[in-house]
Amino acid sequence: KKMKLYFLNSGRVEMKKKIFIPNLKTDEKFQLPVISTYINYKKTNILFDTGCHPSVETNPEKRWGGLSKIMTPINMNGKNLITELSSIGISPDDIDIVINSHLHPDHCGCNEFFKNAEFYCHKKEFQSANETKASQMGYIKNEWDLPMPLKQIKQSYDVFNDSRIVTINLPGHTPGSIGLMVNLEHNKFLIASDALSLERNLDRDEIPKNAWNPNLLLKSYKELMKIKKSGFTIVCGHDDTQWKNKLKMGITYK
């Protein structure tokens, strides 16, 4: 059973570099990719993260409010997760399962389009996004609170019970952040989302300023290091260098 995997461009944002590189003194900004992963396996179409809502490239403030000043969407000339899926012949109604690494708006922004999908996130993430102070933690309710119910993962979720596509708990960035381990025949990926924003953060134990719990994030780094040493390629949440070098658009892993 061949598995298909595509890393899809689902937005681009500009942020201050010092949020991710803590010792930096300047206010220099840089651009970050926003990534969604599409997997087809056993006749099932799966998405891990759904990127930014298409409207934020033209009117970010309307949807994201004050957050759009800290994390400013770049105009993508109409390119978003929906158009990227369309380019590989997939319409929103074809998606069967959506797993959100966490519920920040650059990771669940297109959830609303996948009306036929089953949605999953970690139980602690669901609780966190429902707290009274959730908006101060970067959660925006209308991004994820939809008619399609969010099923809550308590431990981990092995999608087909065959160890090929399995979620892994990587808390720290948020209380319920998860990564996705994908075992292909010739390639093994751990899609870390914001448990590892930039490749350099892992090598230097750098804690981004937007981490909810630095100690838990360091523990997740240790876990990631172990997984990396076991032969997995770690796909970072927002590393533009990695994105441009390794994850060129349209790469298919079979």
Residue 250's pLDDT is 47
86-96 burial code (b ≥16 CB/10 A, e <16): eeeebebeebb
214-217's contacts with Cβ under 8 Å and 24+ in sequence apart are: 214/172, 215/172, 216/171, 216/172, 217/171, 217/172, 217/173
Q: What is the pLDDT of residues 37-80, one digit of tens each?
A: 999 999 999 999 999 999 999 999 999 999 999 999 999 999 99
Q: Given a cut of 60, is residue 248 above it in pLDDT?
A: no
Residue 15's pLDDT is 97
Q: What is the pLDDT of residues 136-155, one digit of tens each?
A: 999 999 999 999 999 999 99
Residue 212's pLDDT is 97
Q: Given a cut of 60, is residue 233 above it in pLDDT?
A: yes
What pTM value is reported for the model? 0.96
Q: What is the pLDDT of residues 90-134, one digit of tens each?
A: 999 999 999 999 999 999 999 999 999 999 999 999 999 999 999
13 pairs with which residues across the strands? 32, 73
Give mean pLDDT, residues 189-216.
97
Burial of 201 (0-12, 13-18, 19+ CB in 10 A): buried
Q: What is the pLDDT of residues 158-189, one digit of tens each?
A: 999 999 999 999 999 999 999 999 998 788 99
Give me 240's structure tokens. 């533009």
